[in-house]
Amino acid sequence: MRNTLNEPAGQEMKPVVFCDFDGTITQLDVTDQILSQLAHPSWREIEQQWMQGLIGSRECLERQIALVDAPVEELHAAIDVVALDSEFSAFCKFARKKRVPLFILSDGFDYVIRRVLKRAGVDRQFKSGTNLFASSLRVEGRRLAPSFPYLPAPCAHGCATCKATLISTLREGRAPVVFVGDGMSDRFAVEFADIVFAKRHLLAYCRENGIACHPFETFKDVQVTLEKLLAPAPVRGYRQAVAALS
């Protein structure tokens, strides 16, 4: 088990939740859907370079998004058919009620994410640069122009949005750090989490690398675990409470 438990001062339980977007909040990777429908097929060759670790996600996205050539109506249509995790809206309400900070960290694009969150009725709960950190996208006619506001200087991993750096900055001493994700772009983030929920590529990565994680299907699974964590348990210390979830 490579995860280290960052024990908070005073044994106080102050969980903070960081979520990936594509394939985690949505059932499919929206960026992949846009590329497969609207970009030149060579986007897949660039994807392979990224999967093989030859390029970082920032370079990957920059080169891929440059291959999109379509009217904005087609972009919206591609976004609007992607299904969400059916439990995500309920999870947002739960987090707000319990005052658990909830962040979305994504290599994907704010333009796309905001449109999906609006459909889920939770867009007002997320503000770019406050609790939504993603790549930026400007629509210029039939073309899309990406930029990467978080962080402006590329990280050592070459991330579009460096989840590892953002978790370190945004957690502000709170613990346990909960991370929910599904993909290869999450592999640097899990090293900074105490409790990992994983599916698909991230689940395989965690298993291959001996990183403790909870397999999950929907955000209901995450909520059930957090409810246990937040339940009053006066006889249990912080470490016991977190260990009991494993």
Binding site for Mg ion (CB under 5 A): 20, 22-23, 182-183
d(CA 181, CA 42): 27
State which residue, 20 or 85, has the beta carbon closest to Mg ion.
Answer: 20
State which residue, 30 or 229, has the beta carbon closest to Mg ion.
Answer: 30
State which residue, 155 or 241, has the beta carbon closest to Zn ion.
Answer: 155
Strand partners, 135: 109
Residue 162 lies near Zn ion (rule: CB under 5 A): yes
Residue 95 lies near Zn ion (rule: CB under 5 A): no
Residues 6+ away with beta carbon under 8 Å from 166: 18, 103, 105, 133, 150
Phi, psi (deg, nearest 5) at residue 16: -135, 135
State which residue, 185 or 223, has the beta carbon closest to Zn ion.
Answer: 185
Strand partners, 132: 104, 128
- C-alpha torsion sign, points 151, 161, 171, 98: positive
> Count residues contacting Zn ion (CB under 5 A)?
4
Length of the chain: 246
Give which of Mg ion, Zn ion, none residue 22 binds (C-beta under 5 to 8 Å, depending on kind): Mg ion
Shortest distance, CB of residue 31 to Mg ion, whole angstroms? Answer: 9
Extract the tokens encoding 115: 């449109």
The interface region with Zn ion, picked from 77-85, 151-159, 211-219, 224-232 by CB under 5 A, is 151-159
Give which of Zn ion, Mg ion, none residue 114 binds (C-beta under 5 to 8 Å, depending on kind): none
The interface region with Zn ion, picked from 39-47, 142-150, 155-163, 199-207 by CB under 5 A, is 155-163
CA nearest to 38, candidates 76, 10, 94: 76
**Residues in the site for Zn ion, rule: CB under 5 A?**
155, 157, 159, 162
